[in-house]
């Protein structure tokens, strides 16, 4: 891989931040199976990407890696599904920052358990990013609660659900952090980034096929895959981001995990531009802090 971990990380941030925008656009609050339909679309795109990777490797891949990697894959797939459920009730500018405190948790685990290290400038940058992610999630929660209090009318149920739905991004953060931590262990000792990527994508494809069978065969849901443009675009950006993510993480995860988690900042900005979600002065200041931290990481790469 010719890219540095920093460039791979920046590309991942942009791609996953954009994916969040299309996840939200493709989510139908009135469709109880909306999250499962997103799982199917992501699975199909990831499966396609896995085929390209396998072909590039001339199919020199030990499929036992899929079994070995299941602890990591299961954490990622579960966390993503939980995140998709949360999007039914929460704006992307609330859901994404809360979810991505997982990067801070994963970085702390890598520091304490795996003994990963960083220099003083990286420590300052990671502290800025971590503080920013935690701060913006707290601001978003407060805004959600204030919005609920202001709307005690016919839409009050929506806002009550929105406040309760914060449990989904919180659960996402915990499960995804465990997945990132395990991923770091695997990439350090057990398999290459290519093997990890293919194992994850094929596992996701298998889960997607089972989910599609459940929707069409058991629940008799109408699901026109070719008409799901926003879900498909989200899946493409998600899969492209995953490609660069494994190369970025295959270095010093104590720095990379919090950095990549800042893709939520891209989600907030895109939510403001395209979904007309409002931002406060505090949010703009926090975004500036996180971006300064990312710049500092690049400066002292």
Q: What is the pLDDT of residues 133-185, one digit of tens each?
A: 778 767 766 766 666 666 655 444 444 455 566 788 888 888 998 998 899 88
User: What contacts 183, CB < 8 A, 6 or more positions away?
Assistant: 72, 76, 196, 246, 249
How many domains does the structure of the chain reveal?
Answer: 1
Q: Which residues of the chain have pLDDT under 70?
A: 1-3, 90-97, 100, 137, 140-141, 143-165, 252-253, 277, 298-301
User: What contacts 143, CB < 8 A, 6 or more positions away?
Assistant: 94, 280
Domain that holds residue 23: 5-299
- Please state, in angstroms and rounded to a whole number, the distance separating the CA atoms of residues 165 and 145: 12
The end-to-end CA distance of the chain, in Å, is 17
Per-residue tokens: 3: 């890219």
pTM of the model: 0.80
3-state secondary structure 86-137: HCCCCCHHHHHHHHCCHHHHHHHHHHHCCCCCCCHHHHHHHHHHHHHHHHHH
By C-alpha distance, which of 258, 225, 279, 239 is closest to 92?
279
The alpha-carbon radius of gyration of the chain (Å, integer) is 19
- Please state, in angstroms and rounded to a whole number, the distance separating the CA atoms of residues 298 and 125: 10
């Amino acid at each position: 891989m010719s890219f540095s971990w920093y460039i791979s990380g920046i590309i991942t941030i942009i791609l996953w931040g954009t994916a969040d925008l299309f996840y939200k656009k493709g989510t139908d609050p009135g469709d109880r199976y909306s999250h499962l339909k997103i799982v199917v679309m992501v699975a199909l795109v990831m499966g396609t990407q896995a085929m390209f990777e396998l072909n590039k490797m001339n199919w020199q891949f030990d499929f036992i890696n899929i079994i070995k990697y299941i602890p990591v894959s299961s954490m990622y797939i579960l966390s993503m599904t939980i995140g998709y459920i949360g999007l039914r009730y929460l704006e992307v500018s609330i859901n994404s920052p809360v979810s991505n405190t997982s990067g801070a948790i994963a970085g702390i685990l890598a520091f304490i358990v795996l003994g990963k290290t960083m220099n003083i400038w990286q420590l300052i940058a990671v502290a800025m990013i971590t503080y920013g992610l935690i701060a913006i999630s707290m601001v978003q929660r407060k805004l959600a609660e204030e919005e609920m209090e202001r709307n005690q009318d016919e839409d009050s149920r929506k806002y009550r659900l929105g406040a309760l739905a914060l449990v989904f991004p919180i659960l996402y953060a915990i499960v995804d952090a465990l997945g990132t931590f395990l991923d770091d262990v695997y990439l350090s000792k057990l398999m290459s980034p290519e093997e990890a990527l293919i194992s994850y994508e094929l596992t996701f494809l298998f889960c997607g096929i089972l989910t599609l069978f459940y929707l069409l065969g058991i629940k008799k849901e109408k699901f026109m895959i070719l008409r799901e443009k926003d879900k498909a675009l989200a899946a493409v950006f998600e899969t492209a981001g995953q490609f660069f993510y494994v190369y970025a993480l295959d270095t010093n995860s104590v720095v990379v995990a919090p950095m990549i988690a800042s893709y939520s900042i891209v989600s907030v900005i895109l939510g403001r531009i395209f979904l007309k979600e409002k931002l406060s002065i505090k949010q703009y200041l926090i975004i500036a802090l996180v971006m300064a931290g990312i710049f500092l990481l690049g400066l002292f790469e």
